[in-house]
A and B are shown apart, each in its own frame.
Chain A
Amino acid sequence: MVSVPWHSRVRHYEAELRSCRAAVASVDFGDYHPLKPITVLDSRSRRGGRKGSTSSSSSSSSSVAPDPLSSLLEGTDPLSLFAALSIWSSMAGCKRNINPDTQTCTTREREEEVGLDFEPWAAKRGEILARFTTTEKLSINLFMGSDKSKASSPSSAVSEKVRTRLEELDDLEEGSQREMMNLSQQDYVNRIEDLNQSLKEAWSSDQKVKALKIVIQCSKLLSDTSVIQFYPSKFVLITDILDTFGQLVYDRIWSMCSDPHSLPDTFSAEDVNDTAKETCLNWFFKIASIRELIPRLYVEAAILKCNRFLNNSGIQETVPRLTAMVRGIGDPLVAVYARAYLCRVGMEVTPHLKDSLNKNFFDLLASFRQIHGDAVQNQLVLQRVEVPVYLTLYSPAIHWILQCVAYRASDVLLTEMMERCKKLGNNALLLNSVMWAFRAEFVAARATDFISMIKDCDETGFPKHLLFGSLGRSLACADPPESERLPILNEAWKVITKVRNAQDYITCAEIWVEFTCRHFTKREVNTVLADIIKHMTPDRAFEDAYTELHSVMMKILTYFHNFSVLFSMEKFLPFLDMFQKDSVRVEVCKSIMEVFIKHQQESTRDPVILNALLHVCKTMHDSVNALTVEDEKRSVSLLINGFIRMVSFGRDFEQQLSFCVEARATFCNLEPVIIQLIHTVNQLAIETRRVMGGSHSRKTAAFVRACAAYCFITIPSISNIFSRLHLYLLSGKVALANQCLSQADAFMKAAVSVLPEVPRTIVVEGKQRSSESFLLEFISSFLSTLLVVPDHPEQGVLYLVRGLLNMVQDYTWEDSSDAKVRVYISALPLLAAMSQESYLYTILNVDSNETLYGGDPKFVAEISRLCETLIGQVLDHLKTLGREEGVHRQGSLAFSLFSCLLAHADLRNNKLNQLAVNLWNLSHKNGQCDTRISVRTLEHIKSQAQHSELSHLSDMLLRLSLQSRA
């Protein structure tokens, strides 16, 4: 083993720093921001404000200014560019909304007649399907056979034998009559879906007539009102088929016209060729000859759009005719849904044709009596359906019709419609839809009127809680006049509180909570909560209403951001207690914490908030168990951490510490929270130090020691080894900063003793990775801290450094890894720094080794010995590498040792000098060295050599040769 005596280079840190530093140009913080495009507004005034900058540097800073990032982006950064864009587009959107009723009817504007604020049918669809269900058995009667058996059919009176081809349209498969009985709802849905499929198949296999037959048969099902509760859903399913059909026909004719080039979107009938017209006309003739009223109506409505191919006024003429045709439907429910379909198609195809929409509504009013007629009543008795249930079946259709009618309609028209509704008896059903579909502002302005109308309604008809629900929905979006608000709430709640059925009650109450929160204070909300608790507690009714209760909670949280107010509501916590199912409870707690973190601006010490939130957080924490997924844990931890960060007792540090102690006990299962707590306590210690100006009194000294103790006993409970290491190091530094030497020592020792436990691989983001780089990183950081840690009086010199190096030696590094040697090399700078007379950095009020030993030669000698050993180890390792394949590694290791020597060793010493030259040669021997780095190193040496005390480097420079790549 070659032993090279170590001599550290004497460093003059201050002088070096001065020589390295560029000319100082301080910038005012006020107007400087690194991301801001650099523009000099008033260079003269700024120049005055600069300290220590010469005029030349200031002028250069303003002229050199173009910063590459900002010049790339032409002066605006992407974020502000986006922001500007979105403002622009929203402005454009506004403009569009302001004048929707332009007279000229270019298609562009026509399309805009239906804006984004129109709730599309697709949104209603799912809602209806989910709401109107049945457990009764359904049947599909597909009358695919010709109805020869129907003796009473008037057609047979004229001619029994002869059938025209037109009538044969009714057969799908000759003579077959398929009736499927006893279908469950799901079966029914599947069957309809099958029909939809077979429609598409028939179409694509060019069996157009069969496709038409399927559609006709399907729409025939709509005239059947058995199992009436299911009717709205049936309507949805079947109109889906009709939509498909309409689209198929339209596309087909469209494609016939698109030869040789496709039609523009704004085409008129003149652009359509004769063949396409003829085909289109054929469809209409076929449909016009459909025997039954309801299929004829629906199918013609489905292909309404195709009228565009025939003539330009076709749609305008057809819609009113179809509207009038609906009058022929006797069953009011069937009729109202047919109207809804017409409105829907009308809105889609010609949204500007308001008149027929209105006509639909007025016709509906005219035939409104039918709903309470005998025929209906008999049917209800037969099917054992109660009137309130029956009436709610109308809601989706009337909602939709009114929504179409009311969309962007004038207040005058709305008022007229309302008046007409008022005149009818039994108008609760209409009233409900009016409140639902008319503009919220319109309803809100007349809320008092509505309430009195609702009161006048018949008790046995439409359920009142639904009426109040609809009113509440409008009031949640628009504000009624200020003076009416309290009476409205009182009136409404009077009715709501009388609702018996818990489910009905909570559906309605949930809606009204928003209105209450929006306009009233905690007192009223508290009352409302009390009422909800009162209603929902009996028979544990809340168990079936968690979604609604959660929504109540969310609404309260949306409007009350002040948590001291929130928790001072008497009923808030009891309300929270109603969430008894664990999963729901945790969700609610999460929402509360999310709102808290989002809206709590400043830290708090309010005991009410703390207690309540601690309780909330504990609930979340307790939900975590062995089966909880990682993400869930993370999100819960994040929320709890947010809470902990928001807690501050100001100058009352002891209180804060005791809070942390309590929190640690409460949240012991969540590692991120524990880590956060350690950080908080460390921060507390540093804060104390800051308050005391660096020197502790007896009391604060005891306190920071307590903090250190807290950290020391908490850290071992963390399982992640690197978190533990870093926290030890961090806490050690904090302890050191607070002059707790023995504590700091303990932390360091603990860190060193944990090192051997570091596994060779760790899991990072779900992947196995070698821990080596993390470990090296930590050790470097640790080493740099060790410079300021004073030696323990009872232990040997450099006790910690030796301890660390021993651990490194004993650690089972990966085979074929240079990590150990790299640690050795990185320890050299530390040792060199330690042998200086004054250290690079020290801690205020802590005596480092420099003062302890005062540059004692024995101490320096000890360091040199250590260095010697290290270099020896490195050189040995280099030798072994030379024998193996690792010439590349040998080269780079040699080079890093060379750099280290260059920077930290006194190269006036011949042996060291020789070693350095040897290392240089070794690193270049195999041509594994990056030439650019070599060149740069040489340049560096050259510039260093200009300093008087480093002039020996120029001699060495002559001996370092650059290897030309042969």
Chain B
Amino acid sequence: MSAVLDLKLKRANKVYHEGEVLAGVVVITGKEAIQHQGISLTMEGFVNLQLSSKSVGVFEAFYNSVKPIQLINSNIEVAKPGKVPGGKTEIPFEFPLQVKGNKVLYETYHGVFVNIQYTLRCDMRRPLLAKDLSKTCEFMLHCQPQKSKVQPSPVDFIITPETLQNVRERSVLPKFLIRGHLDATNCVITQPLTGELVVESSEVAIKSIELQLVRVETCGCAEGYARDATEIQNIQIAEGDVSHGLPIPIYMVFPRLFTCATLETTNFKVEFEVNVVIVFHDDHLITENFPLKLCRV
């Protein structure tokens, strides 16, 4: 190995906000001195939109328009052409995270149809006969905390056979009464989703109660749109025939990367929902859906 290029950010969690400065070091290790024609850093941010296979046929005309949306692209030079001595060399850098014009930096988000990703790339150009070196690292971007105070807007719910929709044969349904509440539907993304659920009565034994976190991604707006809901995670909160009348806590941590503050732009939307799923012993499945609004404070 002749030379290795590495990028190290100062912050362990690699989380930055707009207007902050990415600080870190470029680390070059090699046995001998390395001749180069300049080392530069590039910061890039893109929104990648992808259409679900279901939608492709319908919106073929629309296909071309779904190309990556660039959010940021800037470049600085770390070192002028010259020589790096052998051994380990660390070149510190500071890179301001600034957007040009009126562009907005969305939060980092990894979804199925929408991906928002920020990378920092270091390039070392080298003279003939030597390969250029390059190293990329991802960093997270969190949007600026919301100024206004979040109204938690709690919600109470009762689930009985009567409250259900989309039921084919209401008559075969067992009798049950499940009461509960969510402490907030306007959630702070760093705080867990909390609430309680009480099985007041149930004719049939309960097999499992689960919380399903769902992302709803919408792409395209002007000519039509593709809206897809996919599961992020499924958390079991009760297993087996739980004691009736005893409140069971609802608790779910929002996973990082896969969630972001609820986002609505002209080209795409990222929204979240939670389903309370109750599975009965006879494999009847009941789902109660609650749209969530995530934000950052």
Q: Which residues of A contact B (CB under 8 A)?
A: 152, 154-155, 157-159, 162, 164, 166-167, 223, 273-275, 277-278, 281, 284-285, 288-294, 296, 321, 324-325, 327-331, 334, 363, 366-367, 369-370, 373, 375
Contact of B239 among A167, A288, A293, A363 (CB under 8 A): A293
Contacts of A367 in B (CB 8 A): 243, 246
In the assembled complex, the CB of B182 is this many whole angstroms from the nearest CB of chain A, namely 16
Contacts A/B (CB < 8 Å), 17 sampled: A157-B285, A158-B212, A158-B230, A159-B112, A164-B231, A164-B233, A223-B239, A278-B13, A288-B192, A288-B252, A288-B253, A292-B236, A294-B239, A327-B238, A328-B209, A328-B239, A330-B241
Contact with A along B132-166 (1 / 0, CB 8 A): 00000000000000000000000000000000000
A330–B230 CB distance below 8 A: no
Question: Are B12 and A369 in contact, CB atoms less than 8 angstroms apart?
Answer: no
B interface residues, how many (CB within 8 angstroms): 41
Docked complex Cα distance between A167 and B213 (Å):
13
> Given B206, B235, B241, which contacts A373 in the complex, CB threshold below 8 Å?
B241
Q: Is B68 an interface residue (CB 8 A)?
A: no
Min C-beta distance of A640 to chain B, whole Å: 65
Q: Is the interface of B mostly helix, strand, loop or mixed?
A: strand
CA distance A273 to B237 in the complex (A): 33
In the assembled complex, B178 has its CB within 8 A of some CB on chain A: no
Of A288, A291, A331, the contact of B236 (CB 8 Å cutoff): A291
Closest to B13 in A: A278
Q: Does B229 make an interface contact (CB < 8 A)?
A: yes
Which of the residues A166, A284, A329, A334 comes within 8 Å of B233, measured between beta carbons? A166
Known: A162-B112, A285-B253, A285-B256. 9 other contacts (CB 8 A): A152-B279, A154-B279, A155-B212, A158-B229, A288-B253, A289-B233, A325-B237, A331-B240, A370-B241
Please state if A277 and B12 are interface contacts (CB–CB under 8 Å): yes
| Known contacts A293-B239, A327-B248, A367-B243, A159 near B230 by CB under 8 Å | yes
Q: How far is the CA of A289 from the CA of B236 in the complex (A)?
A: 10
B243: contacting residue among A167, A293, A321, A327, CB under 8 A: A327
Contact with A along B43-81 (1 / 0, CB 8 A): 000000000000000000000000000000000000000
Interface check B98, CB cutoff 8 A = no
Docked complex Cα distance between A369 and B241 (Å): 12
* CB pair A325 B251 closer than 8 Å: yes
Say whether, besides A154-B212, A274-B13, A292-B236, A328 and B231 are in contact (CB < 8 Å): no
Beta-carbon contacts under 8 Å, B176-227 to A: 192, 205-206, 209-210, 212, 214
- Establish whether residues A289 and B230, one from each chain, have CB atoms under 8 Å apart when the complex forms: no
Min Cβ gap A275→B in Å is 4
Q: In the docked arrangement, what's the CA distance between A327 and B242, Å?
A: 7
Interface presence of B291 (CB below 8 A)? no
SS of A interface (majority): helix
A158-B212, A277-B12, A330-B241 as given contacts; A167 in contact with B233, CB under 8 Å: yes
CB distance from A181 to the nearest CB of B (A): 23
A329–B238 CB distance below 8 A = yes
Would A369 and B251 be within 8 Å (CB), given that A158-B230, A330-B238 are in contact? no
Count of inter-chain pairs, beta carbons less than 8 A: 119
Query: Within the complex, what minimum Cβ distance (angstroms) separates A158 from chain B?
Result: 4
Asked if B234 and A154 sit within 8 Å, CB to CB, the answer is: yes
CB neighbours of B120 from chain A (8 A): none
* Pair A328/B249 contact, Cβ less than 8 Å: yes
Q: Are B249 and A330 in contact (CB under 8 A)?
A: no
Q: With an 8 A cutoff between CB atoms, is B175 at the interface? A: no
A164 touches B232 (CB 8 A): yes
Known: A274-B11, A285-B255. A291 touches B234 (CB 8 A): yes
Contact of B205 among A328, A366, A375 (CB under 8 A): A375
Determine whether the beta carbon of B243 is less than 8 Å from that of A369. yes
CB-based closest 4 A-B pairs: A330-B240, A328-B238, A274-B12, A288-B253
8 A Cβ contacts from B243-285 to A: 243, 246-249, 251-253, 255-256, 258, 277, 279, 283, 285
Which residues of chain B are within 8 angstroms of A152 by Cβ–Cβ distance?
279, 283, 285
Q: Is the beta-carbon distance between A275 and B12 smaller than 8 angstroms?
A: yes
Which residue on chain B has the smallest CB distance to residue A273?
B12
Please give, as numbers and ranges, the residues of chain B lying within 8 Å of A327 by CB-CB distance. Answer: 238, 242-243, 246-249
What are the residues of chain B within 8 A of A164 when measuring CB–CB?
Answer: 231-233, 258
Q: Are A155 and B234 in contact (CB under 8 A)?
A: yes
Q: How far is the CB of A394 from chain B (nearest CB, A)?
A: 15
Tell me the nearest residue of chain B to A373, going by C-beta.
B241
List the B side residues contacting A292 at CB < 8 Å.
Answer: 236, 239
- A294's nearest neighbour on chain B, judged by CB, is B239
Choose one: B11, B212, B237, B258; the contact of A166 (CB below 8 Å). B258
> Knowing A164-B233, A289-B255, A327-B249 touch, does A375 contact B241 (C-beta < 8 A)?
yes
Contacts of A331 in B (CB 8 A): 239-240
Knowing A274-B11, A328-B209 are in contact, say whether A166-B255 is a contact too (CB < 8 A): yes
**Shortest CB distance B6–A (Å):** 16
Residues of A within 8 A of B234 (CB): 154-155, 291
Instruction: List residues of chain A with CB within 8 A of the CB of B285.
Output: 152, 154, 157
A273→B10 CA distance, assembly (Å): 12
Picked from B11, B206, B255, the residue with its CB within 8 Å of the CB of A330 is: B206
The residue in chain B whose Cβ has the minimal distance to the Cβ of A320 is: B249
Contact A296 B235 (CB under 8 A): yes
Contacts of B256 in A (CB 8 A): 285
A274–B10 Cα gap in the complex (Å)? Answer: 10
B249: which A residues are within 8 A, CB to CB? Answer: 321, 324-325, 327-328
Residues of A within 8 A of B13 (CB): 274, 278, 281
Question: B188 → chain A, closest Cβ, in Å?
Answer: 16
Q: Which residues of A contact B237 (CB under 8 A)?
A: 293, 325, 328
Residues A328 and B279 in contact in the complex (CB < 8 Å), given A159-B230, A167-B233: no
Which residue in chain A gives the minimum CB-CB distance to B231? A158
Inter-chain contact B241/A162, CB cutoff 8 Å: no
Instruction: Give chain B residues whose Cβ lies under 8 Å from the Cβ of A166.
Output: 232-233, 255, 258
**Who on chain A is nearest to B213 by CB?**
A289
Contact yes or no, B242 A328, CB < 8 A: yes
| Cross-chain contact B246 with A366 (CB below 8 angstroms) | yes
Could you say which of B11, B240, B249, B255 has the most chain A C-beta atoms within 10 Å of its C-beta?
Answer: B240
Which B residues are in CB contact (< 8 Å) with A296?
235-236
**Chain A residues closer than 8 Å to B241, beta-carbon distance:** 330, 370, 373, 375
List chain B residues, Cβ under 8 A from A223.
239
Closest partner residue, chain A, to B10 (CB atom): A274
A651–B258 Cα distance when bound, in Å, is 100
Bound complex: CA A275 to CA B12 (Å):
5
Chain A residues in 8 Å Cβ range of B246:
327, 363, 366-367
CB nearest to B242 among chain A residues: A330
Residue in B242, B243, B253, B285 with the greatest tally of chain A CB atoms within 10 Å: B243
- Across the interface, which residues of A come within 8 angstroms of B258, CB to CB? 164, 166
Query: B231 touching A293 by the CB < 8 A rule?
Result: no
In the assembly, what is the distance between CA of A315 and CA of B240, in Å? 28
Closest Cβ–Cβ distance, residue B21 to chain A (whole Å): 17
- Nearest-neighbour CB distance to chain B for A386, whole angstroms, equals 22
| Alpha-carbon separation in the docked complex, A112 to B292 (Å) | 47
Chain B residue nearest to A163 (CB atoms) is B231
* B212 cross-chain contacts in A, Cβ below 8 A: 154-155, 158
| Minimum C-beta distance from B250 to chain A (A) | 10
Which of A223, A291, A328, A370 gathers most chain B CB within 10 Å? A328
Q: Report how far A292 CA is from B11 CA in the complex, Å.
A: 33
In the complex, what residues of B have CB within 8 A of residue A278's CB? 12-13
Within the complex, the shortest CB–CB distance from A665 to chain B, in Å, comes to 74
Contacts of B230 in A (CB 8 A): 158-159, 162
Whether A330 pairs with B239 at a CB distance below 8 angstroms is: yes
What residue in chain A is nearest B234 (Cβ atoms)? A155
A278–B232 CA distance with the chains assembled, in angstroms: 22
CA distance A286 to B287 in the complex (A): 25
Least Cβ–Cβ distance between B283 and chain A, in angstroms: 5
Contacts of B205 in A (CB 8 A): 375
A329 neighbours in B (Cβ, 8 Å): 238-240, 242
B125 to chain A, nearest CB (A): 32
